[in-house]
């Protein structure tokens, strides 16, 4: 027997500031294997075409459909409605990002600013590239460590789960630390962790983390954020290059 689900969805359009934020309820019949993403699409298709939310891949890869579902920042496409026994699903936009409308937020602006601030791109040791030479081999352990860091989909759940990030918008956050660790682990990169000290070596960086584990607990990709933060703290603390 299918059941009726109740969706309580945050509604607000910044382009219509005269209309204050409110919660709107929708009723929907649950189907087998239904996710919050599927439910939202049905609501927009059959009940309210004005409802705003984001999606791209529908497979937990792009991170676009991240939102707060019953108090937990997570991905709508990977959240089954059957886990909510009372059939009530409350949806809010991710805090900490600019609101586009309803459940849609601008994570792209934040992620780009973090990448530019951290210079999150490879700075090769050898700038003279010979396209005819063989690729330099890499140890499998190093490749696996880099791949693990590269699994981040920049969904923003770790930022919204972080108390420090919500209190201080200059805080680099777990997604930024993960980027720094990714290049610090890469033997092809000419930089060391110490070269990022001016960005992550204070309270806006790894020493501002309160270790509440929000990023760790709510990462949809189960990344080891706390392990990366500990790695960066240890590398900075042991460095003899920092004055």
Q: How far apart are CA 114 and CA 99, in angstroms?
A: 18
Strand ranges (E), the chain: 4-11, 22-29, 66-69, 72-75, 88-92, 98-101, 104-106
pLDDT for the residue numbered 150 = 94
The rounded distance, in Å, linking the Cα atoms of 14 and 19 is: 9
Rounded to two decimals, the pTM is: 0.90
The low-confidence residues of the chain, meaning pLDDT below 50, are 243
Q: What is the Cα–Cα distance from 221 to 61, expressed in whole angstroms?
A: 9
Quote the mean pLDDT of the chain.
93
Fold annotation for 119-238 = Fumarate Reductase Iron-sulfur Protein; Chain B, domain 2 (1.10.1060)
CATH class of 4-104: alpha beta
pLDDT value at residue 183: 93
Give the per-residue pLDDT at 243.
46
Task: Give long-range contacts, CB 8 A cutoff, 24+ apart: 86-89.
Answer: 87/3, 87/4, 87/5, 87/6, 87/30, 88/5, 88/6, 88/8, 89/5, 89/6, 89/7, 89/8, 89/36, 89/39
């Amino acid at each position: 027997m299918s059941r009726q689900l109740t969706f309580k969805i945050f509604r607000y359009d910044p382009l219509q500031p005269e209309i204050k934020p409110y919660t709107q309820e929708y009723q929907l019949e649950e189907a087998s294997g239904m996710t919050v993403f599927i439910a939202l699409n049905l609501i927009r298709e059959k009940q309210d075409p004005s409802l705003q939310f984001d999606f791209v891949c529908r497979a937990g890869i792009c991170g676009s459909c991240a939102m707060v579902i019953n108090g937990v920042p997570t991905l709508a496409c990977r959240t089954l409605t059957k886990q909510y026994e009372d059939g009530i699903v409350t949806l809010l936009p991710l805090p900490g990002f600019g609101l586009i409308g309803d459940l849609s937020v601008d994570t792209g602006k934040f992620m780009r600013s973090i990448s530019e601030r951290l210079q999150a791109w490879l700075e090769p040791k050898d700038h003279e590239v010979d396209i005819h030479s063989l690729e330099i081999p890499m140890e499998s352990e190093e490749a696996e460590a880099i791949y693990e860091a590269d699994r981040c989909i920049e969904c923003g759940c770790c930022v919204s789960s972080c108390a420090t990030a919500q209190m201080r918008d200059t805080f680099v956050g777990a997604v930024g630390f993960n980027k720094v660790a990714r290049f610090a682990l890469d033997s092809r990169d000419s930089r060391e962790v110490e070269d990022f000290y001016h960005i992550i070596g204070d309270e806006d960086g790894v020493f501002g983390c309160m270790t509440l584990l929000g990023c760790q607990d709510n990462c949809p990709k189960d990344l080891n954020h706390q392990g990366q933060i500990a790695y960066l703290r240890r590398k900075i603390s042991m460095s003899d290059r920092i004055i």
